[in-house]
């Protein structure tokens, strides 16, 4: 859409492709006295991302959305080279939700000296759940988020609840490093049949797409069991795992009941505990979570609005 060294205005949006253009835009916003909300994404926007934009508008004068497929958070054999992108479509969707500034740098602009030598270590909290199978993921996520915070210095940053562990780690990083950012967590948006919106859903074949909603359905069933009095975490976990594996077409990576702030496993589930999991359907990895004993307020798209590019 533009040369990486340029800043252009596309359909009413300032598309910033390098750090110089970013700093010029930020200086203008600060001169106006605008407060700033940041919504970091890897692009290929769907309604989940856009709901975060909506939330950000309620917290600041200006929303800056970033689009950057961060190589640091992909391990060997993962989908970095095939991660879906659509910058033009993303600009249109963001503009329709009131975004005026998008920072979409190439890798050479985010990491001009090559991969950073110093990276943010997530500690023990990042070595559980998704961190077991993806040991490089959270150090990469925290490093790029810290870099974005340093470059942009937002007042507010909004992340989605689908990536629950990520949100907890970012909040912990902000506390531990005394970063002056208000980290908010937005809702988990679902398709009409319960499948959590994800850019990776596009990888699912039609048959796999029919299988995928069982993941959320079994988490929801366990949440109902909790309300019915089942509080032993091992029973909640084994029930979800057994039903998913018996149903076929899905390989369970993990199902756990964890504390909502420490991510430590819980023997006895309490209100607010997180039932989180990851499964594989073919080559596609899906994550999801439910909050036990908390009213389900995850918005769902009506069937007519369902997009295969979720």
> Is residue 132 within a helix (H) or strand (E), and if so which, with residue range?
helix 130-133
Residue 49 annotated as catalytic: yes
Tokens encoding 300: 């769902």
CA angle 88, 92, 98 (to 5 degrees): 140
> At which residue do the structure tokens 């640091």 appear?
72
- Distance from C-alpha of 259 to C-alpha of 34, rounded to nearest angstrom: 37
Pairing of strands 36-41, 62-67: parallel
Question: Going by DSSP bridges, is the β-strand pair 156-160/36-41 parallel, antiparallel, or unpaired?
Answer: parallel
CA end-to-end distance (rounded Å), the chain: 23
Measure the CA–CA gap between 285 and 252, rounded to whole angstroms.
10
Closest by Cα among 170, 71, 79, 80 to 120? 170
Instruction: Exactly one of 14, 46, 49, 137 is catalytic; name it.
Output: 49
Q: Which residue has the tokens 């040991």?
A: 135
Q: Which residues are catalytic, by number?
A: 49
């Amino acid at each position: 859409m533009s040369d990486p060294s340029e800043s252009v205005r596309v359909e009413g949006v300032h598309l910033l492709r390098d750090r110089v253009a970013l700093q010029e835009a930020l200086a203008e916003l600060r001169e106006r006295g605008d407060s700033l909300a940041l919504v970091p994404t890897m692009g290929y926007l769907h309604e989940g991302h856009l709901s975060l934009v909506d939330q950000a508008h309620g917290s600041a004068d200006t929303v800056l959305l970033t689009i950057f497929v961060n190589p640091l958070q992909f391990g060997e054999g993962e989908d970095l080279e095939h991660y879906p992108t659509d910058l033009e479509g993303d600009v249109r969707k963001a503009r329709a939700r009131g975004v005026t500034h998008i920072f979409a740098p190439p890798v050479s602009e985010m990491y001009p000296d090559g991969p950073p030598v110093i990276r943010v270590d997530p500690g023990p909290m990042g070595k559980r759940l998704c961190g077991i199978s993806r040991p490089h993921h959270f150090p990469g996520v925290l490093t790029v988020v810290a870099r974005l915070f340093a470059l942009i210095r937002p007042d507010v940053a909004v992340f989605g609840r689908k990536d629950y562990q990520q949100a907890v780690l970012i909040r912990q990083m902000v506390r531990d490093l005394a970063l002056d950012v208000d980290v908010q967590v937005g809702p988990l948006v679902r398709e009409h049949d319960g499948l959590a919106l994800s850019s990776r859903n596009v990888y699912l074949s039609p048959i796999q797409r029919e299988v995928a909603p069982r993941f959320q359905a079994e988490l929801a069933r366990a949440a109902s069991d909790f309300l019915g009095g089942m509080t032993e975490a091992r029973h909640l976990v084994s029930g979800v795992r057994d039903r998913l594996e018996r149903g076929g077409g899905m390989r369970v990576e993990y199902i756990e009941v964890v504390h909502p702030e420490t991510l430590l496993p819980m023997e006895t589930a309490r209100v607010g505990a997180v039932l989180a999991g990851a499964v594989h359907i073919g080559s596609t990895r899906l994550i999801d979570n439910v909050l036990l004993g908390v009213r389900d307020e995850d918005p769902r798209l009506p069937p007519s609005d369902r997009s295969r590019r979720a």
